[in-house]
Amino acid sequence: MTRLSVNINKFATLRNARGGNMPDVVKAALDCERFGAEGITVHPRPDERHIRYSDVTAIKPLLTTEFNIEGNPIPKFTELVLKTRPAQVTLVPDAENVLTSNAGWDTVRNKGFLKEICRTFKEAGIRTSIFIDPEPEMIRHASDTGCDRVELYTEAYASAYSSGKERAIEKYVKAAETAAGCGLGINAGHDLNLDNLRYFIQTIPYIDEVSIGHALICDALYYGLENTVQLYLREIRMAR
C-alpha cells in the first residue's frame, strides 16, 4: 500500500517571498492531512529559503500522520531531527547552493559517514531513508549502512516518461528489485505528478511511499488543494 506524503516546501517559498504568514505553513500541513494525505514532508535547508527550522518544530506536535524530514545531515540538521523525532528522516546530499535536490548519495564513498548517522537516528527510534539514484550498486552499498529504506530519485524517470515510459522505468524496476532483495523499504520522489505517478506504482507495486510537493502544489493552483490531494490519492489507488 503506497502512501502519499505531501512535501509542503512550496507553501513556505510563497510565504517567504512576501513576508508575514500567508500562506500559513502549519495550516497547510494540517489541511493536507485533513484532505487525505498520509504523511507530511519538509526539507529545511541551511539558508531556510523555504521551510524554516521553526516551522519543523511548530508542525510536529500537531500532526496525526507520519512526519518525514529531508535534508543533508550537517550538525544543525541532525540536531533538529533528534529534537523533533519524526517518524522518518530522509538523508539527501544537498550542496548548499543547489536549487533543488539533484543527485543521490555515493554510498561507496560515504558509507562510513552514512553508517554513523543512520545509527544515530535509529538509536533515537527514527526510521532512516537514503536518497539515491536508481543504481543497484549504490543500493547494495546503502544496505550496508543500516538504513531502513532508500528513496529513489525519480527525476530521470519523469523527464523521460513522455518519450517512452517503458524505457524510462527500466532502471527503476531493477533498482527496486535490488532494494527489495536487500530487505530495504522503498520510497520515491522528485517530479512525480498526475501524468506519471500511476504507471510508476503499477510497475513497481511495492513502493512504500511517494513524496510529492512541487507538482501537487502547482496542480492545486488550478484544482484546489483538497481536490488535488484526492486526485493524487486516486492515482495511487488506481495503480493497485
Asked whether residue 45 is marked as a ligand-binding residue, the answer is yes
- Is there a binding annotation on residue 109? no
* 154 known ligand binder: no
Active-site annotation holder among 43, 141, 151, 235: 43
Residue 39 annotated in ligand binding: no
Cα separation of 56 and 81, whole Å?
9
Report the candidate in 33, 38, 39, 41 with the shortest Cα–Cα distance to residue 12.
Answer: 41
Would residue 141 show up in a list of annotated catalytic residues for this protein?
A: no
Of the candidates 38, 135, 151, 190, the residue annotated as catalytic is 190
What is the full DSSP assignment across the chain? -PEEEEE-HHHHHHHHHH-TTSS-HHHHHHHHHHTT-SEEEE---TT-SSS-HHHHHHHGGG-SSEEEEEE---HHHHHHHHHH--SEEEE----TT-SS------TTTTHHHHHHHHHHHHHTT-EEEEEE-S-HHHHHHHHTTT-SEEEEE-HHHHHHGGG-HHHHHHHHHHHHHHHHHTT-EEEEESS--TTTHHHHHHHSTT--EEEE-HHHHHHHHHH-HHHHHHHHHHHHHHH-
Q: Which of 33, 70, 135, 209 is catalytic?
A: 70
190 is catalytic: yes
Q: Annotation-wise, does 18 bind a ligand?
A: yes
Binding-site residues for 3-amino-2-oxopropyl phosphate? 7, 18, 191, 213-214
Write out the binding residues. Answer: 7, 18, 45, 50, 100, 191, 213-214
List active site positions. 43, 70, 190
- Binding positions for 1-deoxy-D-xylulose 5-phosphate: 45, 50, 100
